[in-house]
Structure 1
Amino acid sequence: MTPNLVYVIVIGVLFGAGVSLLLERTLTRILIGVVLIGNGVNVLILMGGAFGTPPIVGDEPVEGMSDPLPQAMILTAIVITLGITAFLLALAYRSWQLLGHDEVQDDAEDTRIIELADRDEVPHADEDDDDLPNPVYDCAPGREAVR
């Protein structure tokens, strides 16, 4: 069985558009990207199945029937995509309620680490962590401290 060129192009477009939307910062675009990738997976599974008559025993010989496994896998993938879509839709709605937009914000700690890396500094300990040993500067008895 040779792959159909139309299926290959559709799969490539769905995956390409889905991945580019997943890299966006708004949850609505991420949601659309997940849906596009899910549909691309469904077409990819559909392309892998053998074509033939419906898999109903008694109507046609067994050799001419299509394989029902890809159809069952597509149904399972649809259900999984629906669950992920509902979850992301709930996240986007909640973000819209709380913040008035659905853009994913940078984490404050990630921003601080990036700024320290740009300045080539080591983060200092917090005031409440003074009693905890620092593994970089403290050492076990009888060993030299690594600086």
Structure 2
Amino acid sequence: MKNCTWLLNLLSAQIILFSGAILEVRPVAVKGLPLRTDSRWIVGQDGRRVKLACVNWVSHLEVAVAEGLSKKPVDEISMGIKSMGFNCVRLTWPILLVTNDSLAFLTVRRSFQSLGLLESIAGVQTNNPSIIDLPLIEAFQANYFQFFIRLFT
């Protein structure tokens, strides 16, 4: 399992986003962090409760790329989520990327091609061209961090 290092890095960088803050991605000075629990509540550094408004963004399906990237740029998707009032995003991730070594070098383009999703290739090239020829794992990482940085900075 050559991809175990990536899995460990991803798991250690799992992010829970609260009120415009990014946790555990890189050092960021943010008011009210770190978050902690107080009994059954999640609270900020000031001791006040933090209420989550969460949304799931699917990326674990066969293509192994976050849904919608063939339709809109990641910046536009993140701003749409933010404008709807969400402060927490769960980006599901494809376990196969770290358990199936044959996927290690499969690019986004080839993933879509293998499923006959040729229109989606054109959409990704138009809306998110930086990921189209990246291996799936690198594309996931790039989108994961780009999305959260854009959404909560």
> TM-score band, normalised by the shorter chain?
under 0.3
Higher RCO (CA < 8 A, seq sep 6+): 2
Higher helix share: 1
Higher strand share: 2
Instruction: Tell me the TM-score normalised to structure 2 length.
Output: 0.22
Instruction: Tell me the TM-score normalised to structure 1 length.
Output: 0.22
State the structure with more CA Rg. 1
